[in-house]
Structure 1
Amino acid sequence: MPEQTLTPEQTLTPEQARTPEQATTAARSRTVRFGYHGSTEVVDRIVRLAGRERADVQLVEYDIADPFRGVRAGELDVMIVKFGINEPDLVTSRVLTEDARAVVVGSGHPLAGRASVSIEELADYDAFAPPGVFPAYVWDDVVPPRTPAGRPIRRVRRVRTVPEMMRTVAAGDAVHISLVSLADLAPPGIEVVPIHDLPPAPVTLAWVRGAEEHDHVREFITTAEAEASR
């Protein structure tokens, strides 16, 4: 029996044989809808841990005043969480990385220009209350109600967005106790000064319980966890 000769189309892999439209649809089906807030620098760290490229994720910035709405509504597959959460319907990954602590101040503030500051010094200035429905127990980690020495921190300023917070800080003596990654978003007139006596924030991924049943989402999470554990 004569040997059968395969045509070029018959030698293509299933991936190669797809039309451009089919390939686009397949790529979208594996895109991880990734919720984040603030700087994308920490996002990029996690994407690298997962062995992916930025093009493999659809970045969606969530509203800090209602942080879990998007993931609960099914609009996100995973979201970045900083500090620990205790939400019965949400699951979190292992700690994947950390974000160091810092304070956001105006460039004319008495603490501006310092190499670092102590959390004890920040009790001298107005800080911010939690925005919107942001969980109060998480905010206690972000902006502690008291310093380690017992001094109360005046959490009295109220805003709903990072740009609004930046404008408030730039205009007066208020401070925002936050994270070093906010330096990526700081406009002129704002400085982000490290806090040397607060531990860094642990960074994890969170998702709705059961949502990781999608293969590409589960693979993203487990690969990032395994690489972070090395």
Structure 2
Amino acid sequence: MPEQTLTAADSRTVRFGYHGSTEVVTRIIRLAGREEAGVRLSEYDIADPFRGVRAGELDVMIVKFGINEPDLVTSRVLTEDARAVVVGSGHPLAARASVSIEELADYDAFAPPGDFPAYVWDDVVPPRTLAGRPIRRNRRVRTIPEMMRMVAAGDAVHISLISLADIAPPGIKVVPIHDLPPAPVTLAWLRGAEVHDHIREFITAAEAEASR
């Protein structure tokens, strides 16, 4: 990881990349026994999620589901994020307490945005339901706001994670999916890069507390 000039105030700051809600991030910070003031959060672009870590701008980033990137290392599973579908408030499923993935095959869903790895998107938005029905991943966007506008208009549904309920804009409902397993949540960082002691301590402490 490229060296940076650090001041006394931020020499132990963890530069932490995340996407979407910060609720899961807060859980991990607590696992690591750190104060939130010692963590500098940066939201990464879902269309190019690993750019910040690869560029040395982030020390660690949050990862949901498994990744297979040769230049990145991941921690043990630290927590989980339950599955949900994001729909417009006027959608037929919006008032439900939960839905089945089988029902979601009746609606258009999204293809991976930008350069988001297709193999990870297969975990986020499975190509088929558990019974084998194809999910129509035919809507294409580059940004989450664009996706949310399309969902709010009722043009598609987004199969995602329950943590999005924390940041859902007006006109959006987040409904649990009761028959998909939760997403495992890990940290990822650049393989072979210099990892400062306070970053190693952060990762190790979070892993140790999560395993209790």
TM-score, normalization by structure 2: 0.95
Deviation at 1:211, TM superposition (A): 3.4
Q: Report if the CA contact (8 A) 1:109-1:173 is conserved.
A: no
When Rg is computed on C-alpha atoms for both structures, the one with the higher figure is 1
| Separation of aligned partners in 1, 2:9 and 2:129 | 48
Residue in structure 1 matched with residue 113 of structure 2 by the alignment: 131
CA distance in 2, matches of 1:128, 1:97: 26
Give the aligned partner of residue 112 of structure 1: 94
Aligned partner of 1:176 in structure 2 is 158
Q: Which runs of 5+ in 1 are unaligned?
A: 1-23
- Map 1:55-204 to 2 at 5 A: 55-204=37-186
More helix by share: 1
Taking the aligned partners of 1:155 and 1:222, their CA distance within structure 2 comes to 38
Instruction: Supply the distance in 2 between the matched residues of 1:195 and 1:28 (Cα, whole angstroms).
Output: 41
How far off its partner does 1:120 sit?
0.2
Output the TM-score relative to the length of structure 1: 0.88
Structure 2 gap segments, 5+ residues each: 1-5
CA distance in 2 between counterparts of 1:181 and 1:209 reads 28
The structure 1 segments of at least 4 consecutive aligned residues displaced by more than 4 Å after TM superposition are none
Per-residue deviation at 1:106? 0.3
Aligned-residue sequence identity (percent) comes to: 90
Partner deviation per Cα, 1:100-136 (whole Å, 9 max, x = no partner): 0000000110111100000000000000000001000
The 5-angstrom pairing of residues 204-223 of structure 1 reads: 204-211=186-193, 213-223=195-205
Q: 1:77·1:211 contact (CA, 8 Å) conserved in 2?
A: no
> Which amino acid is the alignment partner of residue 92 of structure 1?
T
* Structural RMSD (CA): 1.0
Aligned pairs for 1:25-40 (under 5 A) are 25-40=7-22
Residue correspondences, number: 207
Q: Residues 134, 91 of structure 1: CA spacing in aligned structure 2 closer, same or farther, 3 A cutoff?
A: same
**Cα distance between partner residues in 2 of 1:112 and 1:35:** 31
Correspondence for 2:207: 225
